[in-house]
Structure 1
Amino acid sequence: MTTACLTASLAAAIGVAAPASAAPCGNKGIFGSSLAFGSSFGGLLGSRSDQKPLPRISTGTSRTIGWVTGALSNNRTDTRFGISGTDLGISWDNGSGQTLMAFGDTYGDCNAPGQQWRHNTIMRTTDTDPDNGLVIGPGIPGDIRSGASVSTAAPRTASEAVGSPGVPGVAITSIPTAGIAINGIQFMNYMSVRSWGAAGRWVTNYSAIAVSRDNGQTWTTAQSTVRPNLPAPSPGVRVVDDSNGKFQQSAYVDGRDGFIYQYGTPNGRFGAAFLARFRPADILDLGRYEYFTGDRKTPWSPDKTKSNSVVREPVGELSVAWNARIGRFVMLTGDENRGSITLRTSRTPQGPWSGPTTLLTSGQLSGVYAPYIYAGTSPDSSYLYFTASRWQDYNVMMMRTDLSLIRVP
């Protein structure tokens, strides 16, 4: 079953919501993941797609480095990959010397039919020191290690990774939320978005894992990993376990103990963070996952209904990584209520996690969201590099936090 057919079969049982009303190119007929962003993060999306110079911000612990995407980036993704606007930039080590990066709704020429909308795109880099700006190599048709997956017919346009019908109220788009490589195979968790709602809120049909055996060139959804998130059962549709809603958005981290840990949040930015773990070989078998219960005697259970939160709400998009320099796992999240990007640390994947340390506020840089730790640098570094997106520009930037300036409990 294709992703589109899967979405259609699930969406047949639910009603149609009102469409969104704006988009990165200012076209009301096109829908982008930026539409759900705003509120506490500040700013309004203009009618033009013009990208502005990235402000040079230094908060004491963190600073901006430069644009990763867009016409004002060193990578000139507008002319090289047909990417004038996009967001997210979720990264992971592909296991063979490259960092793969997954981006959300992607737009190219705003004057072209459909603004060259792709639901998501993948780029690749070998840059291990993004301090002077992340470098992405050229896209070469047929080369699965080039800067992006491009075709002979469109050598300057990054290809879409995971499709979606693009139908408002049924399945608007497919948004990546996490990625990991296991034994040379790439696994990308994504959510099928049914409709955008108020700022920081959206409805999903399901989350699932897409698999690539050619370094992110092509992707296939593993049907065994689909977590339906229908709001109510209907005739002909099986009853959906509410616990699926805890894992509509994800983050992966190697626990350094033989397990891969998957953090999950509900769709939107106002839920708590939950935790599951699995052996690497079992990533596509949800029946072998264990869920953190919070109980001292039986902290892990195969029953997902027993899963308990590890970080209290509100948790926006999140990412987690091990940092050897401070000897802690590091978690970055957005806080929609406060309009901030925060950092937490823990000795173990399940916590207890420290209280949040604010790295950046909307007052310092408005419209910033989705902090994703950059996977291409050494875990021994005292610098934590991460991507973030800016709503007004609808593009991805690189930032840096000096962990030596962070109080670690």
Structure 2
Amino acid sequence: MNTEVHIGRVGGLAVALGVGLAVVVGAGAAAAETTDTDTTSSSSDNSKNDSDDTSDKDTSKAESRSADSTAKTQKADKAAAAETSRKSYGRTTTRRAAEDHTDAADAADRSSDRTSAKPSARKTDPAEAVRDLVAETVSAPARLVTQALNSVTLRTPQAPRPTTPQQSSLLLGLVTQGTRREAEAAAVEPVARAAVTAPATTRIGWVTGAGGLNDTVKRFGIAGTDIGVMWDNGITKDNPATAIKEQRQVLMAFGDTFSQPRMTGIWRNNVLLRSADNVLSNGLYVPNGIIHDPGAYSGSPMTNPNFSREIIGKYGYAVGPEVTIIPTAGIAVPGAGANGATRQYVNFMSVRSWDTPGRWTTNYSGIIWSDDNGQNWTVVPASSIRPAASGRSTRPFINGNQNFQQGAYVKPPAGSADSTAGWVYSYGTPAGRGGTVYLSRVNDKQILDQTKYEYWNGSSWVKNNPAAAKPILPGTTTTSFFGLVKNTTYPSAGEMSVQYNPYLKKYVMLYTDGSNNVVMRTSSTPQGTWSTAKTLVTSSQYPGLYAPMIHPWSGSSLLKKADGSVEDPQMLYWNLSQWNEYNVALMRTDLTRV
């Protein structure tokens, strides 16, 4: 009897194994992505025109606007761009000679007068979503291999192209993720539940690249770019003393920019885009650029029709190689400019060399300023340049400045004691993504004079001594030699941004961590104590991610819904760069779910 039982169990096991093998081999049940990844639209989908957000898109954007750059709104342009996006589904892969960029620009001009309603996103039936998701598992193994290969064979750019993001153990993570999904794919109910549950963070749409809402290839000669630092231009009302109409906008500074796909064509160190769009749930729209814009409020400073020009050049203050100039932070100070103008400031780094992925060397960091809303820029080398080491700049090296090569500016909330005192907080990290975060502050009328800065040493502010600055993120202390030796390590932070969030009533910091995931920390004060890091998106969801840059209107009444009501204040909008696409997307995080 026992023998029969054992034989029966062995036979049953063999049948089960045979069925399992048939499912895996015949049906491709091993899914390479989690259902959350599917919902957040991993970049392997290679569709730069679809929004990951399944909410209905507004169809009321088609309002008339003047072609004059001083217009207060560009809603009709946004609608027309959306229509163009629908008609040009998928990114173009056609390679054109760099000299031909003006031909496409002329074509875009001829079609720029069209206005139409922005298409609504197709609503997904839950049952259909389940069928699609189960069907997705059939092709998932091939995509797993493709993503895994992409993660370890990212293109090595030729100088002066930027470096790839530092990669974590992505391949191992994908394999583990796929193994876990083999079991989950067999259960229909968990799959259905995931298919109809939106993630906390979604990708709204691409800000740059071919097609999409902005089609920056045709309109600005931007087929590839990154970073997308954002800040409020500080212009809150029109000045009746001027002939133009001033406009509140968000300015966006980008890094290495190419006119053709795959980092080819005409290269620029950096470019600037402007936007007054305050309905971000269906994308971030950039109006057309105007050459010799008298009001400096068009979509971008331009040199030719539909071709954005570089805003920060190589000023000759580097000693030795200098491959590119990258913006890292921006801020506006009303009244700081000539004749009481609002002055824009941008912190930038001079890159000496691209090293291993996630690592690079800088010559110096510096600050440029503009009194005409970013149309023209000036650098003050004697007081704003911070060499990263001796012998890399014509300016003298001061110890501690190596920790302020990349930055993030933040203003305290209006009405606070810090705001009344005029403080601007300036965060810094060393070059690359392997360093931690330091903090300084300065009066908003003295940003260009580094001798006026104060540095946080962990307990107090120290004037004019960058070497006094201590890491501000919580560290981990270990001991050795029977407790006689203590060592404290601090979190690494790649390309951070910091903003005060009115909804949370806290400062919010985004950056990429040592595993190349986007994480968020919060604090009641600029210096901390900072909270534990919370992951917003992972590199398995968005391979090659980096540079999360917060939209400055997040959490405020400045943002609206499509119907004109105030946007939900818990929605945090931010830009995200992805290496494989080499473009910038707008993301949205629901802070109630983080």
CA distance in 2, matches of 1:168, 1:395: 31
CA distance in 2, matches of 1:100, 1:82: 18
CA distance in 2, matches of 1:60, 1:29: 37
* In the alignment, structure 1 residue 73 sits paired with structure 2 residue 180: no
* In the alignment, structure 1 residue 383 sits paired with structure 2 residue 383: no
> What whole-Å deviation, never above 9, does each CA across 1:187-223 have from its counterpart, x for those lacking one?
0000000000001100000000011111111111121
**Equivalent residue for 1:347?**
524
Contact in 1 for aligned 2:224/2:260 (Cα 8 Å): no
Letter in 2 for 1:62: T
> What whole-Å deviation, never above 9, does each CA across 1:219-264 have from its counterpart, x for those lacking one?
111211000113x459x97762230111000000002413100000
CA distance in 1, matches of 2:506, 2:262: 47
Q: Which of 311, 314, 318 is equivalent to 1:161?
A: 311
Q: Cα offset for 1:131?
A: 1.1
**Equivalent residue for 1:323?**
501
CA distance in 2, matches of 1:292, 1:57: 46
* In the alignment, structure 1 residue 302 sits paired with structure 2 residue 464: yes
**Equivalent residue for 2:63?**
none
**Equivalent residue for 2:453?**
289
Q: Which of 521, 531, 545 is equivalent to 1:368?
A: 545
* In the alignment, structure 1 residue 245 sits paired with structure 2 residue 402: yes
Letter in 1 for 2:584: V
Distance 1:240 1:377, change over 3 A: same
Q: What is the 5 A alignment of 1:202-281?
A: 202-223=360-381, 224-230=383-389, 232-233=390-391, 240-256=397-413, 257=418, 258=421, 259-281=423-445
Structure 1 residue runs of 5 or longer lacking an equivalent are 1-25, 44-55
SS of residue paired to 1:117: strand
Number of residue pairs aligned between Structure 1 and Structure 2: 361
Letter in 2 for 1:341: V
CA distance in 1, matches of 2:583, 2:391: 38
Q: Which of 341, 345, 349 is equivalent to 1:187?
A: 345
Distance 1:111 1:202, change over 3 A: closer
SS of residue paired to 1:245: helix
Letter in 2 for 1:385: Y
More strand by share: 1
Distance 1:41 1:243, change over 3 A: farther
Distance 1:304 1:29, change over 3 A: closer
Letter in 1 for 2:516: G
Distance 1:28 1:378, change over 3 A: closer
**Equivalent residue for 1:108?**
259
TM-score of the superposed pair, with normalisation by structure 2: 0.57
Q: Cα offset for 1:37?
A: 2.2
Structure 2 residue runs of 5 or longer lacking an equivalent are 1-154, 172-194, 236-247, 335-341, 474-489, 558-568
SS of residue paired to 1:122: strand
Question: Over alpha carbons, which structure has the higher Rg?
Answer: 2
CA distance in 2, matches of 1:294, 1:180: 25
TM-score of the superposed pair, with normalisation by structure 1: 0.82
Q: Cα offset for 1:29?
A: 4.8
**Equivalent residue for 1:196?**
354
SS of residue paired to 1:131: coil
Contact in 2 for aligned 1:138/1:147 (Cα 8 Å): yes
**Equivalent residue for 2:298?**
146
Distance 1:239 1:31, change over 3 A: closer
> What whole-Å deviation, never above 9, does each CA across 1:126-174 have from its counterpart, x for those lacking one?
01121101100000112210001113xx111100010138999600000
- Percent of pairs with identical residues: 41
CA distance in 1, matches of 2:583, 2:210: 10
* In the alignment, structure 1 residue 40 sits paired with structure 2 residue 168: yes
CA distance in 1, matches of 2:444, 2:301: 26
Bigger drift between 316-325 and 159-168 goes to: 159-168
Q: Which of 61, 67, 86 is equivalent to 2:225?
A: 86
